Amino acid sequence: MRETLSQSQVAEIMLSLVPPPVQAALLNDLEFLTRYGLATEATVTFGGSPPFSRSLLFQAIREAFGADTSSSKIAAEDGSVWHLSVHDKDGQRVLRFSAGEHGFIASQFWPLSPSREDRMIGFNREAEAIGLTDSAAEHWRAKLSSSAVSDDEFDKLQSEFNNTPVRSVLRIEAELRARSVNISSLVPIELRYYERLVGACEPDMTLSAFVASMEAEHLSSLMRWRRIEVLRSGLLLSWHSSLVGKFPTFDLAEEDIQYLYAWLLQKGDLVSCLGAIEFSLAHLDRFPRIESKLPELIDKLWREADDNESGRFNLLSCLCCLVLGEMARRGIGRDRPPFWRRLAAFAQASLIERAVIATGLDISSFAEWALKARGQIFYLQTMVDLRREPRWLPDFISSDQLKAEFLGRISAVARRNEFKITDPMLRERLLGDSGLQRDVQFPFSYLPGPMEGGTEAVAELPHDLVETLEQQLSSDVLGPNSFAPLLNSTLLYRITPDHAQLAADALRRVKYQIMQIGDERTLFSLLSGLATVGAVTRSQQLADEVRVLARVIRRRSGPKLPRDNELRVALIAAASYLDAGEWACFLGDWLTEMAQEPLTATMATSLYAHIRHLQNIEPILRRSCAKADAALLATANQLNSNM
């Protein structure tokens, strides 16, 4: 008679057949374990202690918390016997583990206690310490109020605690001090971690809708925490001015202000300093005592070099690449809008920056490592994101552009609130000719920020520029300068499809013969600029003309566009297609055409690697790029075998 397998036995067999990452995810899913009657077993160690069986250890802990003698014992896996005893420490019952002369205190096992008082005291202390104030806190508070947790629930609760920014920065600082850095610690893999860091965002949310939701949800949740920690956490959101405008304006005590500004000057990350400056200038009329403290904080950003490998702007730039690149590699938040993923990634980068400063790590070497680790994936992810948000390019994360953007934002908020600034020193620093204004650069200080890739420019294209553009593009002979008024205005002013059509018509009229292209740099600026116009205006006609122009240049004599740069142009031009399927087809066709042109082994190998990364970032490309993928692999193998 054939034996019938139970549901849990079938689940165990199926688990053994799936890849290890899927297996690990399922074994960490408490609902899955409960549904199929599965239990996990693990070992637990404490620093230098021997390993303990988790199930036996937790049983002994429950006995210690519940016994009249408040003690129990357990055998470790090396055979040593450990005694567990309960002691009072600062109003909380904790466990002491001892074996002969060895011993240690463990305070984290209160969820296993049969005493409701133990559980609630422990939970409330931990939740307050780490700022756990969302719906998960209410869920666990209700659970712990009614009963102790199971073994798997204990692990789930610890995971909940670990997926908070406070715990994250503690782990990061510990690893940095030990000079043993793990990317998984720097970049948590759980989506809910980033929702706690910057607030939740629905897949189809716009920037304006997200900003509106922040005050009602994320910031109101933070407000249930300590005031000074609310500000330090909220300042991580300062990657966009509209979010700074949502900060709570409760009246701060003098000691709060003293502490916050002292912390910002000594240990604060750059974007938090920027947010504090913007917030302070906007509210000088409500908090006049802040005014005397602003000059030093402004100087911290203004005097910081943007071209120094050991500088803070370089560190921040490289950390942003690391975090967003790792999120892209793991697919974290893939269905969320690009602006939200950037906000989440860059807020985490700022959190890491705080840890680097606190631990005194060498900035230059750490920044170099961060950029090399995930810089390429960051770049390609940002290029893929142009389809949804075409106005923010990966180059805008450079250290010099970050500083230019920060100074531009400070200048803008200072001018909006000029009437509130009464201190002469502060006025000169912000608005005088010898102050910060001399370093506000056009156009760099006015380019879109990382959260503005999907927003329209506010300013209209000046009439005189329109006339110049129409006049120059109507000529029968065109050079790179003929397109300059359009290309230089694309990200600063509102460019319409009609403007893009002028460029497309001009290219066809001169049969793609552009005169006076002196070198590769000029050629790339022209093609990438035209592609950007097509992307921003969603002009598919101009994108098609740019593709033809690239083909003509590829096949004629004169300056050539390196294949990596042509790939970049193709990715920008493809953003003229908002529909994902049409975008993938346009890009796949262009890359297939490139793959079938004569290539060196180095070119084929490099282009093949880029396409493979793109397919991992955006799986929809696997079908449309299949021909290019196969052609490049065959070319690279053939050329390498002939060497």
Helix locations, 217-337, DSSP H: 218-222, 227-234, 241-244, 254-267, 270-282, 294-302, 312-330
Helix locations, 579-625, DSSP H: 580-595, 601-617, 621-624
Question: Does residue 426 lie within any of the structural domains?
Answer: no
Question: Does residue 458 lie within any of the structural domains?
Answer: no
Q: What is the pLDDT of residue 110?
A: 94
Region 214-228 average pLDDT? 68
Question: Does residue 356 lie within any of the structural domains?
Answer: yes
Domain boundary among 386, 405, 424: 405
Q: What is the pLDDT of residue 643?
A: 61
Residue pair 71/83 in contact (Cβ under 8 Å)? The answer is yes
Task: Clarify whether residues 604 and 478 are in a common domain.
Answer: yes
Question: Does residue 429 lie within any of the structural domains?
Answer: no
Task: Clarify whether residues 36 and 48 are in a common domain.
Answer: no
Low-confidence winner among 61-75, 325-339, 484-498, 582-596 (lowest mean pLDDT): 61-75
Q: What tens digit of pLDDT does each residue of 150-181 get? A: 998 999 999 999 999 999 999 999 999 999 88
Q: What is the pLDDT of residue 267?
A: 92
Domain boundary among 67, 88, 112: 112
Task: Clarify whether residues 351 and 487 are in a common domain.
Answer: no
Q: What tens digit of pLDDT does each residue of 230-262 get? A: 778 889 999 999 988 877 766 667 777 788 889
Instruction: Specify burial of residue 535 (Cβ count, 10 A radius: 0-12, 13-18, 19+).
Output: buried
| Distance separating alpha carbons of residues 9 and 15, to the nearest angstrom | 10
Q: What tens digit of pLDDT does each residue of 181-205 get? A: 899 999 999 999 999 999 999 999 9
Task: Clarify whether residues 498 and 627 are in a common domain.
Answer: yes
Instruction: Specify burial of residue 12 (Cβ count, 10 A radius: 0-12, 13-18, 19+).
Output: middle
Question: If you search the block for the tokens 């922040």, which residue do you land on?
Answer: 214
Domain carrying residue 35: 1-40
Question: Does residue 410 lie within any of the structural domains?
Answer: no
- Higher local confidence (pLDDT), 365 or 31: 365
Give the pLDDT band of residue 70 (cuts 50, 70, 90).
Answer: confident
Residue 302 has pLDDT above 80, yes or no: yes
Residue pair 313/304 in contact (Cβ under 8 Å)? The answer is yes
Residue type, 253: A
Task: Clarify whether residues 97 and 120 are in a common domain.
Answer: no
Assigned token pair, 237: 């959101």
| Distance separating alpha carbons of residues 414 and 371, to the nearest angstrom | 34
| Distance separating alpha carbons of residues 561 and 573, to the nearest angstrom | 15
Which of these, 114, 120, 110, lies nearest to 144 by C-alpha position?
120
Task: Clarify whether residues 146 and 242 are in a common domain.
Answer: no
Which of these, 46, 45, 97, lies nearest to 71 by C-alpha position?
97
Q: What is the pLDDT of residue 1?
A: 45
Residues composing the chain: 643
Q: At what angle do helices 116-130 and 135-146 cross, to 10 degrees?
A: 160
Question: Does residue 412 lie within any of the structural domains?
Answer: no
Task: Collect all residues with Cβ–Cβ distance below 8 Å to 638 and sequence separation of at least 6.
Answer: none
Residue type, 104: F
Task: Clarify whether residues 257 and 390 are in a common domain.
Answer: yes
Question: Does residue 237 lie within any of the structural domains?
Answer: yes
Q: What is the pLDDT of residue 33?
A: 58
Q: What is the pLDDT of residue 224?
A: 65
Which of these, 465, 505, 501, lies nearest to 486 by C-alpha position?
465
Residue 142 has pLDDT above 50, yes or no: yes
Assigned token pair, 597: 């042109």
Assigned token pair, 386: 């142009």
Which helix or strand (DSSP H or E) is residue 94 part of? strand 92-99
Task: Clarify whether residues 90 and 125 are in a common domain.
Answer: no
Task: Clarify whether residues 512 and 583 are in a common domain.
Answer: yes
Question: Does residue 419 lie within any of the structural domains?
Answer: no
Region 84-89 average pLDDT? 90
Q: What tens digit of pLDDT does each residue of 108-124 get? A: 999 999 999 999 999 99
Q: What would the DSSP string read from start to end of 539-557?
A: -HHHHHHHHHHHHHHHHSS
In order of 41, 53, 311, 403, 487, the CA distances from 440 in angstroms are 60, 62, 19, 9, 21
Q: What is the pLDDT of residue 66?
A: 87
| Distance separating alpha carbons of residues 235 and 295, to the nearest angstrom | 19
Task: Clarify whether residues 563 and 536 are in a common domain.
Answer: yes
Task: Clarify whether residues 144 and 163 are in a common domain.
Answer: yes
Residue pair 70/85 in contact (Cβ under 8 Å)? The answer is yes
Domain boundary among 112, 127, 153: 112
Low-confidence winner among 512-516, 536-540, 573-577 (lowest mean pLDDT): 512-516
Instruction: Name the domain count of the chain.
Output: 5
Task: Clarify whether residues 396 and 252 are in a common domain.
Answer: yes
Q: What is the pLDDT of residue 264?
A: 94
Residue 23 has pLDDT above 80, yes or no: no
